[in-house]
Chain A
Amino acid sequence: MNDNPHMEIDFHDIITDPNLSRREFLKALGGGIFIFFCIGDSSVLEAQRRGGRGYPEDFNAYLRVGPDGRVTCFTGKIEQGQGAITSLPQMLADEMDISPDMVNMVMGDTAQCPWDMGTFGSMTIRFFGPPLRAAGAEAREVLIELAAEQLQVPQDRLAVENGVVFDKQNKDKKVTYADLAKGKVIERHAKEKPPVKSPSAFKVINKPFLHRDAQEKVTGKAKYAGDMRLPDMLYAKVLRPPAHGARLKRVDTSAAEKMDGVSVVHDGDFVAVLHKSPDQAAALAKIDSEFDVPAATVDDQTIFEHLLKNVGRENTVAQGGQLEEGERLSEIVVEQTYLDGYKAHAPIETHAALAQVEGNKATVWASTQTPFPLRDQIANALGLKPDDVRVITPFVGGGFGGKSPGQQAVEAARLAKATGKPVQVMWSREEEFFYDTFRPAAVVKIKSGITKAGKATLWDYHVYFAGDRGAAQFYDIPNHRTSSVGSAFGGGPSPHPFATGAWRAPANNTNSFARESQIDIMAAKAKMDPIEFRLKNLRDERAIRTLKAAAEKFGWKPAPSGRGLGVAVGTDSDTYVAQIAEVEVDKRTGKVRVKRVVCAQDMGLAINPEGAAIQIEGCVTMGLGYTLTEDIRFKGGMILDRNFDTYELPRFSSLPKIETVILDLPNEPAHGGGEPAISVVGAVVANAIHDATGARMLQLPMTPERVRKAIAALA
């Protein structure tokens, strides 16, 4: 294990003005060697042109070798616990022959970093990683050229160790990166396919590293948006409706206005009280208000029926062969419907922001996954130019997709503008639940067929309102169709009674629960072991090797067994995942205890295997929540679960033993690691419950009551 030196990571330094051409960009940054590069393809640059007014257009990330020899990587990505702050420097370190602690990360600051769409979809390593490595290789090349000149040694005789370039024939002939960068301003654009290090030369990449921000986090020094302080700042509480869809009918703020040290902002439906301390919220209670609440037409019991009534156009996600032919070949046909309710993101840090508006400029510190889109949203709300708004992203206390929307930051900015003082908005837990963009409730209907010999012949799959990620099946089924109805992420008419959005491995949790449950039913109908059945019906080499790795680690013995063992396979973010779980079910109470989960993952090159293992463990643990306990109860637009007393997150006593296997594939591209392992947790536990009890669970979460009922129905 490499123990990183712990660094102070500073989010405050203002070194640039946000309105920049490339020339000004460089001037503002001072001297050094700059390498510009692009993330993604031309469509990303196009999006940048549209969204990134004021930024140079031929790159969207860059790094700088400063006159102190330190390398700074500027990126719009943010750190929310996923570990990019550790793994990105690992990539740079190997390409530049430096240690990772020579790398500074400047993240999520719209004034210092080039435009970026946001941190989601397990994309940082996959799409930002390769160009970052290329830029590192380019920087090294520039430094070698400079060294050759300075040392009067041909380039091919030079080598680099820890930021020192030396003559291989005379090690005393040497020069540091710091000396080479001093007094220079050099710009280069990274080559499209530069020579990057081969896996055999990795010293840092693919080696386990501890979180480099851990020191700050265990000492309380790490700053989150709610920890930011400015002189004369005010803390705001906003008047909230009792339900989504409710309209403010009448409001009287006079009693609150009379209170000492309280100011009130009233702008249409937007009513807030501001205090000098965040806990002196008594003024909010003095506001007399009345809302028109629309009659509830749907609740958490009737939602599935409601969704199916609103089914619109089906989009075909994948298809092959002929369904009629599949029906004809099928000797056994299974038809099943799967249900999944709304889930909250529930990061322990609620949405928070501190905003300061001075003249026509705004600075906002926000807990956000999308600093640049948020900047534009704030600019729009305040009537400012996007370039005059700076969003700074300190550490984010968990996001999971829920901090892509930044309503709290817009609220803080509006209040800062209205009061002329810096204003912090930190949502209460109740606000956090109320305004969450929930993982959508969804229905999946599957009709599938097999021969008596256990060959899959038919797959007709329809997902409603979860989204299509992870919907397409990867088994060798000759006649298949997959369709998806409804956007999961709002935008346009939605049958959901409140906002929904991306929740860690969006759509894939629901789709994988349905698919892998159905596959398990098919295996049981064929009287085959679930792994044997999957292997018989898989031709995808990556799926096969991942499943075999999980089975080997688990010590799999053929089932059905009655031992409570379940299997599930999935794919997400170009990664393949296979899990095997062992559960114990109390048949009297219906309570499920997950005892052991083995998770194998083919994620290509794992940049930081330690970080990847942590993400898998986190996925499995978080996944147990949506699997067993988490479900948002609601009545119309009224959210009934508003805190952790009734919305039950996984806790220490719910932990299984988690074992991870990361396939050793250093020669393959790095795939996503933040989400794949959560996508199959529902399925693997459902299948294990079936193995333990014979009861087939068709709805998430699999609460004790539902499990008990399913067992009772067997009798």
Chain B
Amino acid sequence: MAETIAFTLNGKPATITTDGQRPLLWVLRTDFGLTGTKFGCGQAICGACTVLVDNKAVRSCTHPVRNVAGKQVRTIEGLSSNGDLHPLQKAFVEHDALQCGFCTSGMILTAYSLLQDNPQPTREEIVAAMDHNLCRCGAHTRIIDAIQDAAARMKGGKA
């Protein structure tokens, strides 16, 4: 059944009238044209579809769009501000922490969520937080380095 859902998308008000059970992923990619959020597995296993809902990492492929009503949704497209890369994005570039780039949005937003909760994570804490985001190219060690570096630059989780 169609319903109207209002939320904040990358800092701006957004509304959509649609079946509220549709996964957030496809609403973002199709209705809002935000294709930076990727489809990987469809079962919330791989993390490629990760977005932020009220600053928490959420797997959008299984998250009904109805559940974001009244909330703040942030996708990879909304992470940099005024053309300046977020420290996590910068660190991913500078550490060469990606290859094909398909898991990258999900990696960065999962890391963002981690640093909100834990601004100075240890290496072990990063591994634990990122362990359910899959990368097939094998950029893992560089991703960990990038997150540690970004955490140091953000000095307490504030970008």
Contacts and interface: CB of A to CB of B under 8 A. Distances in A.
A278 B35 CA distance: 13
Interface in A424-443: 426, 428-429
Contacts, number: 178
B140 A652 contact: yes
A346 B77 CA distance: 26
A669 interface: no
Nearest to A79: B100
A219 B80 CA distance: 8
Contacts of B144: 652, 655
Interface string A655-669: 101100000000000
B101 A222 contact: yes
Nearest to A215: B93
Given A428-B42, A643-B45, A397 B77 contact: no
Contact of B135 (A218, A221, A348, A429): A348
B137 A622 contact: yes
B103 interface: yes
A348 B93 contact: no
A651 interface: yes
Interface residues of A, number: 61
Interface in A200-244: 210-211, 213-224, 226-227, 229, 235
Interface majority SS on B: helix, strand, loop or mixed? loop
B38 interface: yes
B77 to A, nearest CB: 5
B131 A220 contact: no
A653 B30 contact: no
A620 B140 CA distance: 11
Interface string B111-151: 00000000000000011101111111111111110000000
Q: Which one of A215, A221, A348, A653 has the highest number of Cβ atoms from chain B below 10 Å of its Cβ?
A: A348
Given A219-B36, A220-B77, A622 B30 contact: no
Contacts of B80: 219
Contacts of B135: 348
A428 B39 CA distance: 9
A569 B48 CA distance: 35
A134 to B, nearest CB: 28
Given A211-B98, A214-B98, A215-B93, A614 B35 contact: no
Contacts of B77: 219-221
B140 A621 contact: yes
Contacts of A651: 131-132, 134, 140
Contact of A620 (B23, B30, B138): B138
A495 interface: no
B34 A653 contact: no
B3 interface: no
B100 A348 contact: yes
Given A219-B76, A219-B85, A350-B39, A213 B101 contact: yes
Nearest to B77: A220
Interface residues of B, number: 59
A411 interface: no
Contacts of A350: 39-40
Contacts of A224: 35, 38, 102
Nearest to B21: A279
Given A349-B38, A643-B41, A652-B127, A218 B92 contact: yes
A429 B40 contact: yes
A618 B77 CA distance: 27
Contacts of A346: 136
B26 A217 contact: no
Q: Which one of A3, A396, A400, A653 has the highest number of Cβ atoms from chain B below 10 Å of its Cβ?
A: A653
A695 interface: no
A13 interface: no
B108 interface: yes
A643 B41 CA distance: 7
A396 B42 CA distance: 19
A218 B93 contact: yes
Nearest to B90: A218
B102 A644 contact: no
A81 interface: yes
Contacts of B126: 652
Contacts of B36: 219-221
A223 B142 contact: no
B79 to A, nearest CB: 8
Interface in B18-65: 22-23, 25-26, 29-31, 33-43, 45-46, 48
A226 B139 contact: no
Contact of B103 (A279, A348, A426): A348
Contacts of B33: 229
Given A211-B96, A621-B140, A652-B130, A348 B46 contact: yes
A218 B108 contact: yes
Contacts of B108: 218
A395 B35 CA distance: 13
A682 to B, nearest CB: 15
A619 interface: yes
Interface in A582-624: 610, 614, 617-622
Contact of A429 (B23, B41, B133, B136): B41
B76 to A, nearest CB: 4
Interface string A269-291: 00000000111100000000000
Q: Which one of A397, A643, A645 has the highest number of Cβ atoms from chain B below 10 Å of its Cβ?
A: A397
A226 B94 CA distance: 27
Contact of B35 (A227, A428, A621, A658): A227
Contacts of A653: 127-128, 131
Contacts of B29: 227, 278
Q: Which 4 A-B pairs give the minimum distances between C-beta atoms?
A: A220-B36, A81-B100, A621-B138, A397-B102
Given A217-B98, A621-B141, 14 more contacts: A81-B100, A210-B96, A211-B99, A220-B75, A221-B36, A224-B102, A277-B31, A348-B135, A349-B38, A396-B100, A400-B136, A618-B137, A655-B127, A658-B141
Interface of A: 1, 3, 6, 80-83, 210-211, 213-224, 226-227, 229, 235, 277-280, 346-350, 395-398, 400, 426, 428-429, 610, 614, 617-622, 643-645, 649-653, 655, 657-658
29 contacts: A210-B93, A211-B99, A215-B93, A218-B85, A218-B89, A218-B108, A219-B36, A219-B76, A219-B80, A220-B105, A224-B35, A224-B102, A226-B38, A229-B35, A235-B30, A278-B29, A347-B100, A347-B102, A395-B101, A398-B100, A429-B42, A614-B96, A617-B142, A618-B139, A644-B43, A644-B46, A652-B133, A655-B127, A657-B141
